């Protein structure tokens, strides 16, 4: 009997395992079919191109561990997705000469964020598209401040009549800088955070030394965010023919204007001139059908991704004999070593620069920087690789994106030419070191550290003792030396007296338009302008543009796709992780940054204020 029961049990187990394996195999096959099959979406002879970015608009997509995404971020929405700026610009430019595309539709409801400089580049591309005479429409349930800076370039801006949102219509919040401060917390925990800095305005260290923003930091921050906000408001006023007085009243006394419009935010947006009309879905479809034709119950249209899929060649067509301008993207915080896309690794970017330098067909290099800075040693490694490229006769041109500050500016400092947007956040030329010690924390628990060593620096990095006085003085000298090196490089690259550089350095942040006036940037321009300048410096007329990127292997791409697909299914079934994690998101990010910078007393060139909200 026992043998019979055991046999039945083994049979059940074997059957269960077989079924499980078959289900797993079926899921893998399903994912593989999804990955490798791309159903063709033909472009109608008359169609509308829908520009529908999701998540954050970036210069380079970040590599995200699917498991971390599941545990800490993914909510089944677009908050963690990213859309390449290059893709949007390419689609709009292609559509302008594509006879099949009769109109552009801006569907921005899934756009979560972007730097002002990127939004401006998209706006410029839309303005170029409008010169063809093709109409541009924007429609959404409501418009955030980010979304509206793109929508404002449309010929007509509509609100969906069926939508109802707490902050409907068009909602502006202005720009602000609100870091998280840790001084009170470190005092409670009896953590002694030793900070060494060079630069009066080097606000990156303030969150570790204060519980609020200093007067000097407030003055400096209001200076550059004021420039950005003026650029924003000027664009809205010009595009919508609204008076400055009306715009300021709308943005500063929103509640009064809302009450005067019967508390109807959508109607208020129309009456104040920010939106042309509130339209039903039926009326919207009929209007578009009159322009591009009918497709079943809707109008002929194609999405951004499908349009690129249909218009791009399946494989890049590269002429091996053609002269080339290489473009490398350096996006994210700067770290030592090899880092994945979305962060800047000193070794990673240096390797790409060497590839460009050693390629005889590459005649010039453009580095696109979107970074608040980071490691000084990694920044110098990248800058020196660029300098070696210049020494070999290949011009190096910098294109600054949303921000290129601190370490980002260090990298750019000695390039042949530097371009930025009016609203690029740059400067922050200063240095700092953070070194926490925990001797009082442990002492309060009855734990102490003591011993002997052979030199005055023995045990200097023991964080459980009071900071070594020799180490303290050494770190002070090191910060000063690095700052002098920084302003020396700027003086060399910008051909300015070092005293003049020191006056505009001091860790102070500048908007791009101000940086041009100060001589830190050569001209206002986008990536295309930087590429054109590089070609001019290299004296080449006929050339191809190649993008050098650190790519995932085929197996890594496949694994990510499988895991992401599985995790989406899990989240659909479970409803995802609680949204309470999001409330702590920015705080945990700041704490992570603190921990990374305090692991060892490295020298940092970082701008924590540059991420304007």
Closest CA to 367 of 378, 381, 380, 352: 352
Distance (Å, rounded) from C-alpha 337 to C-alpha 344? 9
Q: Where are the beta strands (DSSP E) in 13-90?
A: 47-51, 55-58, 82-84
DSSP class of 103 = E
Residues 6+ apart with CB under 8 A from 222: none
Token pair in block for residue 130: 């409008």
Closest CA to 93 of 368, 312, 370: 312
DSSP class of 449 = -
Angle, CA of 11, 16 and 22, to the nearest 5°: 125
Distance (Å, rounded) from C-alpha 137 to C-alpha 143? 14
Identify whether 406 is a catalytic site residue.
yes
Phi, psi angle pair for 413, to nearest 5°: -55, -35
Residues 527, 368 contacting (CB under 8 angstroms): yes
From 69, 102, 118, 202, the catalytic residue: 202
Residues 42, 310 contacting (CB under 8 angstroms): yes
Residues 376, 431 contacting (CB under 8 angstroms): yes
Distance (Å, rounded) from C-alpha 343 to C-alpha 62? 7
From 375, 406, 420, 513, the catalytic residue: 406
Q: Where are the beta strands (DSSP E) in 504-593?
A: 509-511, 523-524, 544-548
On the 0-12 / 13-18 / 19+ scale of CB atoms within 10 A, 21 is exposed
Q: In three state form, how does the secondary structure of 267-303 look? A: HHHHHCCCCCEEECHHHHHHHHHHHHCEECCEECEEE
Distance (Å, rounded) from C-alpha 353 to C-alpha 411? 12
Residues 386, 560 contacting (CB under 8 angstroms): no
Identify whether 271 is a catalytic site residue.
no
Distance (Å, rounded) from C-alpha 598 to C-alpha 180? 16
DSSP of 165-181 = -TT-EE-----------
DSSP of 110-157 = TEEE--HHHHHHHHHHHHHHHTTT--EEEEESEE-HHHHHHHTTSSEE
Residues 154, 136 contacting (CB under 8 angstroms): yes
**Torsion sign across C-alpha atoms 295, 299, 300, 302:** negative
Active site residues: 202, 406
């Amino acid at each position: 009997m026992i043998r019979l029961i055991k046999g039945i049990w083994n049979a059940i187990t074997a059957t269960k395992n077989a079924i499980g394996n078959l289900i797993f195999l079926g899921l893998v096959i399903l994912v593989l079919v999804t990955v490798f099959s791309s159903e063709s979406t033909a472009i109608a002879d008359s169609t509308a191109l829908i520009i529908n970015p999701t998540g954050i608009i970036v210069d380079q997509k970040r590599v995200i561990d699917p498991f971390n995404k599941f545990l800490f971020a993914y909510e089944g929405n677009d908050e963690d997705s990213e859309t390449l700026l290059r893709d949007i610009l390419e689609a709009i430019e292609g559509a302008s000469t594509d006879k099949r595309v009769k109109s552009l539709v801006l569907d921005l409801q899934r756009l979560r964020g972007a730097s002002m400089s990127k939004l401006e580049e998209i706006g410029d591309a839309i303005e170029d598209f409008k010169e063809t005479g093709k109409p541009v429409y924007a429609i959404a349930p409501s418009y955030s401040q980010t979304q509206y800076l793109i929508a404002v370039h449309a010929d007509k801006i509509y609100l969906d009549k069926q939508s109802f949102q707490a902050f409907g219509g068009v909602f502006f919040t202005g720009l602000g800088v609100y870091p998280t401060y840790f001084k009170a917390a470190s005092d409670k925990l009896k953590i002694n955070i030793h900070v060494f800095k060079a630069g009066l305005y080097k606000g990156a260290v303030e969150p570790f030394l204060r519980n609020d923003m200093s007067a000097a930091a407030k003055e400096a921050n209001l200076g550059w965010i004021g420039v950005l906000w003026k650029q924003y408001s000027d664009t809205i006023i010009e595009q919508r023919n609204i008076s400055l007085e009306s715009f300021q009243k709308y943005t500063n006394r929103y509640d009064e204007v809302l009450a005067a419009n019967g508390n109807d935010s959508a109607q208020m947006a129309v009456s104040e001139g920010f939106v042309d009309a509130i339209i039903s879905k039926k009326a919207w479809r009929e209007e578009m059908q009159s322009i591009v034709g009918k497709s079943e119950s809707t109008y002929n249209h194609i999405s951004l991704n499908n349009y690129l899929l249909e218009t791009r060649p399946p494989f890049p067509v590269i002429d091996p004999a053609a002269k080339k301008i290489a473009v490398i993207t350096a996006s994210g915080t700067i770290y030592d070593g090899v880092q994945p896309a979305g962060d800047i690794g000193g070794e990673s970017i240096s390797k790409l620069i060497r590839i460009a330098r050693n390629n005889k067909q590459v005649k010039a290099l453009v580095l696109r920087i979107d970074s608040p800075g980071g490691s000084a040693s990694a920044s110098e490694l990248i800058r020196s690789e660029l300098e070696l490229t210049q020494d070999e006769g290949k011009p190096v041109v910098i294109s600054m994106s949303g921000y290129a500050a601190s370490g980002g500016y260090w990298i750019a400092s000695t390039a042949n030419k530097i371009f930025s947007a009016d609203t690029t956040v740059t400067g922050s030329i200063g240095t700092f070191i953070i070194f926490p010690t925990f001797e009082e924390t442990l002492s309060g628990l009855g734990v102490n550290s003591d011993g002997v060593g052979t030199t005055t620096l023995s045990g200097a990095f023991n964080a459980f003792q009071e900071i070594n006085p020799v180490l303290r003085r050494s770190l002070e000298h090191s910060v000063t030396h690095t700052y002098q090196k920084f302003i020396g490089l700027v003086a060399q690259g910008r051909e300015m007296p070092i005293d003049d550089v020191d006056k505009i350095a001091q860790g102070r942040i500048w908007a791009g338009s101000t940086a041009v006036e100060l001589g830190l940037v050569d001209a206002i321009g986008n990536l295309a302008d930087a590429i054109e300048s590089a070609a001019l410096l290299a004296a080449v007329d006929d050339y191809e543009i190649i993008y050098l990127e650190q790519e995932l292997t085929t197996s890594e791409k496949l694994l990510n796709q499988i895991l992401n697909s599985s995790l989406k299914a899990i989240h659909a079934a479970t409803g995802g992780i609680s949204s309470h994690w999001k409330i702590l998101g920015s705080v945990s990010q700041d704490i992570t940054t603190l921990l990374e910078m305090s692991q060892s007393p490295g020298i940092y060139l970082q701008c924590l204020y540059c991420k304007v909200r």
